[in-house]
Amino acid sequence: MPERSASPENEFFHVLKTQQFDRSLLDGLCELTTTVRRYAKHREGLHFLRGLLSEKRAMLYFTQPSTRTFLSFNNACQILGIQTSEIRDSATSSEVKGESLLDSLRTFSSYVDVVIMRTKEEGLAESAAELFDRIHRRVPIVNAGSGKDQHPTQALLDIYTLERSFMHRGGIDGKVIGMMGDLKRGRTVRSLSYLMKNYRDVKLVFISPPAFRMEEDIKAHLREHGVTFTETEDMEAALPSLDAIYITRIQDEHDVSGESSKVDLSRFKFRVEHLAKLKEDGVIMHPLPRRDEIHPDVDNDPRAKYWRQERNGMWMRVAILTKIFGVDRYLQQGSLLD
């Protein structure tokens, strides 16, 4: 097998924001994720996956708290044989000695082949990518969550979950998708909204308290690309029209003056009694972690896809890494699946 490396000409060299994805890329990634899952069902397939990138090393720079994203990326690396290093707290790095974060990141590039980063600073992944593009050893950056702005790999696994859920109903095209909760500061719903321009006749329903409405930059993007959306505070009235509802928690870690505690959130919680208002083939999603915005008894309903959504994240991230390093073509040959 020839040497595998991330090519600067590859459209997947960096994964920074959802605006970089078109329909062809999204469809291809969904197909690739399903292929990865098929390989992983067999011992021979798992062995093949583990050898694909066994010469590569990854830095997991996660200075913002994370459970699912960190674990799914860490396990995705293990599935592909990638060795990992990690920093979970900037206090354990030379940043405490006054080193700039970009200098720290440049140091990582000397030791690893990809940097996967999750930080509270918006735009930091893009700044790191610009730096790496200028240095002698270019290393791809994967944005695993930046501030309140972007979470592109979450949006990709959300697309995959929606496509799988609607696979017998024509996919995402033509569906009505509700997004409920803290839409102002929720980077998952922001990132997913950016992708909706790639699907035909999709309608979005934003359900939130006035204080946490979707911000104007997203709404301007949707208008520019002809994506229909409405806004409401009435979840119960909106539910019967929805093919999917994507529920998010209140992002109070971004509070400046305790504003979250001043908002009545009681009307934005999904309970068992709401299941009767949702379509029989509807979909309930949540990026997790949840608090009390979805009652645990809802988990037993087959329309609740958030635990499947979580597991899809690992497989989508395997697919992303194979595409970054150009080994996806070996999977698509499919000889082990025959």
Could you list the active site residues?
68-69, 97, 118, 151
**CA distance linking residue 338 with residue 336, whole number of Å:** 6
**CA distance linking residue 6 with residue 14, whole number of Å:** 9
Q: What is the bridge-based pairing of β-strands 203-207 and 83-87?
A: unpaired
**CA distance linking residue 293 with residue 270, whole number of Å:** 6
In DSSP terms, 116 is beta-bridged to 60, 142
Q: What length does the chain have?
A: 338
**CA distance linking residue 165 with residue 163, whole number of Å:** 5
List helix spans (H) across the chain.
23-39, 43-52, 68-79, 101-109, 124-134, 152-165, 187-195, 216-224, 235-238, 306-324, 328-333
Q: Are 154 and 313 a contacting pair, CB within 8 Å?
A: yes
